[in-house]
Each structure stands twice: as C-alpha cells, then as structure tokens.
C-alpha cells in the first residue's frame, strides 16, 4: 500500500489493454466516483471566474484527538484538471496551538489509495483510517511541535484520479496558494516546503518541478521526496501480467487515469464481463475494498481486446505523467531518498532525474538506505528529511552531494 501503486499505474493500463480475454464487453464508458454528499466539496457555478488557488470556502473542523495541539481548518479552492478545466479541490490545514503568523507551512502529500471520494485525506482524518493514522500521526505531531502549520491536500482531486501524478503536483501548489490566502491562518508571509513519499512523493516531486512555471510567486524553500516512481512508461514496458494479491491497486490506478484521460485511455471499453465486475466492485472503494476486489487477478483475466497497446496516445499519457521526462526543473533545493534495491520502482530513473537536476544547478541531497522494503525506507528516511526541511526553514544554505 505504501507505493500507492502510482508506480504501477500505467503498467496496469497497458497490461489491461494488451491482454486477451474470452468474453467481450459492450464498450462501457468510464465510471466516476459518487460525489461527496457534503455540499462543501461541490464546485460553485462561477468557479471558472476564479484564479488558480483562489479560496472558495473555509470551514473550521471538529478537533482531532490524535492532534491535541492543533486546530483543523478545511479550505476549498479553485484548481484545474489535466486539461485546464476548472475544478474545486480541498486541503486540510493543521495549525499548532502556539502558531506565530509567518511561521513555516509544510505541505505533506500523504499516500492516498482509492477511487472513492471518502478516501481523501480530509475524509480519512475523520473516519479514523488506520492506514493514515498509524503512519502519519507521529510524524505530523513532531512537525506541529516545531511550530509548523501543515497542509494535507486531497491531491487526487474531486474525481479521485488515482495515478494522475502531474495533477497531484498542480493541486498541491494550488492548495499552498489557498492556504496563504486565508487570513485567519496567518500564513501570508510564511515560507513553505513540500514533503511526501512514494505516491505522496510523486505529488511532491511534480509540485517541485512545476512550481517555477505554474506558481512562481510561492515562497518554496525546499522539497523532500522519497521513493518516487519517476518513469511510469519504463515500468509499463517491463512489468509482467501474472496474478498478484495487490493487483487491485494497479487496476485502481488504471481506472483513475481513465477518469482523467477518458478519450485517450478508454480502459472500461476494453474490459470483459469479469473486468467490469471487478471495476464496479472497486469504483468507490478505498484501500481495503480495492485490494479485495482485485486480489489474485491479472490483466489477462479482465481484458477483451489488445487494441490500445499500439496507440501512441496511450504512451503520450504515460510520458506526460512521468517526472523523468518532464523538462521542468525545481529551482528550490531538493532532498531525495530511496533504497537502491527497491523491488517496486526503477531506481535508475531516480538517478537520471537527479543528475538532470544537478546539471541544471538545483542543490540535491540524496540519501540511500539499503533496505529491501519500499515502505521501510520511508520510515528510515523521514527523520533526515524533516531535519533537512527544518534547516531550509531556518534559512541555512542547502547541502548538495551532486
């Protein structure tokens, strides 16, 4: 679950399209999540008139017992999907009890597994989601005790576009913009930074790379990103199609990308009857439901056609969501960590991306942890990442081992 299978996202797309099933489906359209029933999440009719990052609504939330030193504020803001169409997105701001105006703001991109609107961080916080709490709470409380405010963006967007990595980066930046525009949060003059691992690391990495062009006005002092799948095109061309207990997460990422690119990736139209049944079982699910629906399936079980495997539009989408292939470069310092023996992501793509950033003059600090487990590497690297961020907030020169 730690990889959030963003690393596998496009592999699932290609796998489903390349496999051959026995029963043909009738060209089903994409399935979108049930809209959040809370009207706060709905887009206003005049959203197109607002600028990216404009605050659309603010709501003070109920206190959370596992963040005893923080107040909780939900902010709705204007952003855009991968095609530039306006959407309403949300971020949750944790404000420490002793907050000083202008104190640091950290945007923490949590891993979000799922296709349902209730999987968003702002919802999971109040559903007592163990996947969120056990991993994130100690880390976030440490940051709150340092006096930092913390933004927790719902970086999959209102359609839960699981796998759409570039979208996640854009939503992250607009969430920071919005947080700085809410007067009562006292963040207008705050330095900001980014942190995330795996799926959250993808949103973090994309936000860092997009910022110079998309949000140059933001005062971003650093980005700490770990275990980032940098090239989903490479992964798609190398992963196999064998049944796997975690196949549901890969399938969910394929369906999330279909939601964002329905004209280029008509995955549902390629599914056989079994595939449609699996899709419908996970269409509004989070981690548990998604894994259960897809367990021990494979692309070969679910597809009825091979028609998309040679379609260049498919590979254009994977390239567009592969950070290694994006020509933008962060201008803020970057802290990067991973294991050189990661079984889930191609580390050579990380190395190539780091070399490109270094060549462009970006200070990069890379740390390697010889762990055979993707998730364990997150835990090993977080203390160093937070200390590195603390130094950036203090204005110390960024170290580099380029």
Cβ 346 vs Cβ 374: under 8 Å: no
Residue 392 lies in a domain: yes
Quick one: average pLDDT of 260-271? Answer: 90
The DSSP symbol for 6 reads T
pLDDT on residue 297: 86
Residue by residue, DSSP assigns 336-400 as EEE-TT-SSS-HHHHHHHHHHHHHTT--EEEEE---S-HHHHHHHHHHHHHHHHHHHHTTPPPP-
The CATH number given to whatever domain includes residue 277 is 3.40.50.1820
Angle, helices 273-282 vs 247-260, to 10°: value is 90
Instruction: Report the distance separating Cα 270 and Cα 41, nearest Å.
Output: 32
Residue 19 has pLDDT above 60, yes or no: no
Q: Residue 223: beta bridge partners?
A: 194, 334
Residue 76 lies in a domain: no
Q: Is residue 393 part of a domain?
A: yes
- What the block records as the tokens of 216 is 């140059």
Q: Is residue 83 part of a domain?
A: no
Is residue 52, in this structure, part of any structural domain at all? no
Instruction: Cite the DSSP H helix spans in 76-221.
Output: 121-127, 130-145, 165-180, 199-214
Residue range 45-56: mean pLDDT, rounded: 98
Q: How far apart are the first and last CA of the chain?
A: 31
Whole-number Å distance between alpha carbons of 78 and 191: 21
pTM listed for this prediction: 0.92
CB 56 within 8 A of CB 78: yes
Neighbours of 55 (CB within 10 A): 17
Q: What are 322-378's pLDDT values in tens digits?
A: 999 999 999 999 999 999 998 778 899 999 999 999 999 999 999 999 998 888 999
Cα dist from 77 to 54, 109, 126, 157, 321, whole Å: 5, 17, 20, 11, 23
Helices 273-282 & 287-294, crossing angle to 10 degrees? 160
What is the tally of structural domains in the chain? 1
Cα separation values, 160 from 46, 120, 253, 369, 388, Å: 22, 8, 10, 32, 31
Residue 254 falls inside a structural domain: yes
Q: What is the pLDDT of residue 24?
A: 37
Q: Do the domain assignments include residue 50?
A: no
* 201-257 residue pLDDT tens: 999 999 999 999 999 999 999 999 999 989 877 765 555 467 778 788 888 888 999
Residue at 299 is within a domain: yes
């Amino acid at each position: 679950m730690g990889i959030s299978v963003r690393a596998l996202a496009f592999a699932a797309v290609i796998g489903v399209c390349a496999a051959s099933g026995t029963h043909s489906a009738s060209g089903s359209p994409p399935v979108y999540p049930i809209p959040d029933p809370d009207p706060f999440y709905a887009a206003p009719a005049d959203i197109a008139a607002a600028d990216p990052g404009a605050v659309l609504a603010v709501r003070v939330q109920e206190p959370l017992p596992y963040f005893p030193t923080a107040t909780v504020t939900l902010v709705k803001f204007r952003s855009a999907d991968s095609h530039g169409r306006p959407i309403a997105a949300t971020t949750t701001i944790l404000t420490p009890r002793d907050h000083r105006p202008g104190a640091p703001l950290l945007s923490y991109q949590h891993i979000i597994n799922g296709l349902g609107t209730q999987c968003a961080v702002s919802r999971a916080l109040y559903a007592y989601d163990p996947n969120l709490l056990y991993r994130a709470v100690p880390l976030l409380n440490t940051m709150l005790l340092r006096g930092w405010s913390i933004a927790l963006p719902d970086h999959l967007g209102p359609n839960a576009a699981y796998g759409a990595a570039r979208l996640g980066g854009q939503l992250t930046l607009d969430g920071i913009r919005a947080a700085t525009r809410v007067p009562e949060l006292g963040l207008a003059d705050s330095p900001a930074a980014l942190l995330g691992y795996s799926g959250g690391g993808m949103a973090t990495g994309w936000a860092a790379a997009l910022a110079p062009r998309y949000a140059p006005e933001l005062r971003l002092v650093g980005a700490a990103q770990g275990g980032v799948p940098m090239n989903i095109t490479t992964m798609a061309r190398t992963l196999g199609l064998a049944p796997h207990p975690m196949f549901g997460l890969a399938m969910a990422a394929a369906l999330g990308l279909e939601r964002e690119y329905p004209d280029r990736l008509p995955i549902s139209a390629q599914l056989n009857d079994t595939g449609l049944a699996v899709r419908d079982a996970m269409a509004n699910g989070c981690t548990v439901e998604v894994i259960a629906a897809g367990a021990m399936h494979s692309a070969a079980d679910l597809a009825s056609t091979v028609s998309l495997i040679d379609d260049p539009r498919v590979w254009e989408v994977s390239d567009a969501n592969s950070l290694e292939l994006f020509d933008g470069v962060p201008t803020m310092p970057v802290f990067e960590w991973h294991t050189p023996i990661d079984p889930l992501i191609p580390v050579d793509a990380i190395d190539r991306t780091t070399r490109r950033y270094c060549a462009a003059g970006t200070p990069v600090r890379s740390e390697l942890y010889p762990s055979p487990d993707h998730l364990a590497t997150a835990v090993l690297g977080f203390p160093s990442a937070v200390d590195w961020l603390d130094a950036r907030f203090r204005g110390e020169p960024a170290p580099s081992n380029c």
